Structure 1
């Protein structure tokens, strides 16, 4: 309950800050809607319909009231409800963020375990060097290089777009046993997922390595070795389990960060998610859409944090007693 109350306060702060930025931003929304219409009466009517003729505090209270009823407003540019726009692009962003997280987990955790168990050996040096390169590589540059080298030169993957939605591809698999759409979806998402997940992979690798090294020096590891348990079982069932709490925390935080930070990757690969729509709306001065996307990402971030608290309290009951 305390986490939920903190989350509500965070969301209120996000709403307030975004509304303040909207008020301070240059430009007139009427120009975006009316275009080149010179009729002042028409422009005044649009301003009145949008409530822009009201004092700023009245507009703020009206906006809060709309949010409490589930309305994010209407797009100046697309003439549609912001809720519909966010819902249309949300799935693509979630697909990309989850795919990047899967890439990071599949690569980083085994790499971190190998690095920790083979300290000061070539495998450890290679993992450390790879982590340093991954953390230091800008994702927009990596995305462009992947397009130029892998997509253009080798011709293995598409360079832009989404192809087909994941849920549509899975429907075809379960309904008709057709995997063509799923393979198409994989071909489109591999390069963006690698681009977005590289930094994440390097971070989790370093975190897993340091956590494993700390755990390997504890007495219970010596006791399990004395019992004759296989090294693989000791590393992955006992040692890695005790290393998971900080890893899960970072996973949850980074998943929320990936959803909000996929803007550059979506722009590079023309991935039709919230990030690409955010950039387009910001360029057009479509502030209702900008506010709606930022608020939606903030809600996702808060919910993910609460779920992370619940998961690692489950893994370590001592956390829930604090």
Structure 2
């Protein structure tokens, strides 16, 4: 991404100072920011800053990049976590029902839902949800959130008022559904295929021959073994949601990293864009390490 600075249109110094700035002032800013250096020199200077935790300053607002990233992290994490919860709560029961009732109407319905979920673009779904629930019915807000999850919980604990939590749920409902729809369809299909594969294994036949109830066999043994690949996909998709919420946050004006990335792109604010991308990469790696730990717990054989 750093190399795109060299080929992107526009002079960063001119963007920082405005079109009315004198050439002398522009050259001074270019020298001060190191923009007159070769691109490889700028790159190594940037890497040296990253090593000591210095992400630089935003060209547009002249604020520290790490501060601008950190203040938007909670909103993005909230949206990604709630979207994941929505997807898991809906997808796993659908996948189990579809696998245990093959070639029945419920199976066809779950398959059709998965197909529609994977095929529907997020931006179109978001606009349709806004039109339906925000404009026609008018039961849910469609703009920027009024309160964060942390603030809502503080209000609930300290004052015993659930008003803030209800407001937060109302604002996050549509963005979470929009972001989690593709995820829901993916997990549904994965659960169905995993359950079908596990149900055909000898240990299921042996468990039923021992007289164990079907519900116990289905949910304690079969679903547990099916969850191993699902957990892996959940981790990968969680990292993807962190970086892939750009469109959803833009549609709903959600104050997260995605919306800030779009604003930085419009302003050609490269230090801010790079800082956001670096954070998303770090978050993706961290989440995958955490998923590997859970995978080892669910399947101890991987450690042997």
Give the TM-score, by structure 1 length: 0.92
Residue 247 (structure 1) aligns with: 230
Deviations 1:59-113 (A, max 9, x none): 1111011101111111111110110110111111111111100000000001100
Q: Secondary structure at the match of 2:107?
A: helix
Q: Distance in 1 between matches of 2:185 and 2:32?
A: 51
Equivalence for 2:16: 33
1:320 aligns with 2:303: yes
Contact 2:14 2:21 in 1 (8 A): no
Counterpart of 1:293 in structure 2 is: 276
Secondary structure of 1:19 counterpart: coil
- The corresponding residue for 1:149 is 132
What residue in structure 2 maps to residue 11 of structure 1? none
Q: How much has 1:320 moved relative to structure 2?
A: 2.5
| 2:3 equivalent to 1:20 | yes
Deviation at 1:56, TM superposition (A): 2.1
Question: Within the alignment, does 1:137 sit opposite 2:110 as a pair?
Answer: no
Deviations along 1:125-184, one digit per CA (max 9) or x if unpaired, are 111111111111111100000000111111110011111111111111122221110000
Unaligned runs of 5+ in 2: none
Q: Matches of 1:42 and 1:228 in 2, distance apart?
A: 84
Contact 2:3 2:39 in 1 (8 A): no
TM-score by length of 2: 0.97
- Which residue number in structure 2 is paired with residue 6 of structure 1? none
- Aligned pair 1:189/2:169, yes or no? no
Query: Residue 99 of structure 2: SS of its match in structure 1?
Result: helix
Give 1:218 deviation, angstroms. 1.1
CA shift for structure 1 position 226: 2.2
Q: 2:163 aligns with which of 170, 180, 183?
A: 180
2:209 to 214, 226, 247: 226
Q: Is residue 96 of structure 1 aligned with residue 79 of structure 2? A: yes
Of 34, 45, 54, the match for 2:37: 54
Rounded to whole Å, the distance in 1 between the matches of 2:16 and 2:181 is 41
Q: What's 2:54 paired with?
A: 71
Q: Report the counterpart of residue 290 of structure 2 in structure 1.
A: 307
- Structure 1: distance between partners of 2:35 and 2:121: 41
Q: Secondary structure at the match of 1:195?
A: helix
Which of 170, 175, 198 aligns to 2:181? It is 198
Instruction: Give 4+ residue runs of structure 1 displaced > 3 Å after superposition.
Output: none
Structure 1: stretches of 5+ with no match in the other structure: 1-17
Which residue of 2 is the match for residue 212 of structure 1? 195
The secondary structure found in structure 2 opposite 1:162 is coil
* Secondary structure in 1 matching 2:2: helix
Paired residues, what number? Answer: 304
CA separation in 1, counterparts of 2:221 and 2:240? 29
Q: Mean alpha-carbon deviation: is it higher for 67-76 or for 225-234? A: 225-234
Q: Distance in 2 between matches of 1:295 and 1:38?
A: 32
* Pairing 1:107-126 to 2, within 5 Å after superposition: 107-126=90-109
